Amino acid sequence: MLIIDCLIKKLLNMNELQPVNQNVLLDISDDKQEQKTASGIIIPDSAKEKQTIANVVAMSNIDNAEIAIGDKVLYKSFSGNETEFEGKKYLLIQYSEILAKIVETEEI
């Protein structure tokens, strides 16, 4: 009986966000650590600069997409719709609002 209960719980928790209509889902969950200035003043969330770099978590079907799931991207400030899903923060944005893909390069 215990195994069946565990399987049912897993099946019920198998939700995911799947973007549609040329949208991309970005993970914007940030560390909940307090940010302080060099002199020890705590910076409140309202004064922090909004991040513009995130990881791609899911994408709708986009022909000839230049990004893939798992890529780190730079996107326009104040774009998209923020949402919280199963305890994580996400940003749903149009594919056209992604400005660049961040790639690692070797030193010369």
Give the residue, 14 or 66, on which the prediction is more confident: 66
Q: What is the pTM of this model?
A: 0.72
pLDDT, tens digit, 9 for 90 and up, residues 60-86 = 999 999 999 999 999 998 889 999 988
Using CA atoms, how far residue 6 sits from 2, 3, 16, 33, 55, in Å, is: 6, 5, 19, 34, 31
Q: What pLDDT sits at residue 57? A: 94
- Distant-in-sequence, close-in-space partners of 22: CB < 8 Å, separation ≥ 6: 60, 62, 94, 95, 96
Q: What pLDDT sits at residue 87? A: 84
> What are the chain's domains?
18-102 (2.30.33.40)
pLDDT tier for residue 99 given thresholds of 50, 70 and 90: very high
pLDDT, tens digit, 9 for 90 and up, residues 24-62 = 999 998 755 556 667 777 777 666 667 789 999 999 999
- Which of 27-36, 87-96, 97-106 comes out lowest in average pLDDT? 27-36
Q: How far apart are CA 53 and CA 29, in angstroms?
A: 11
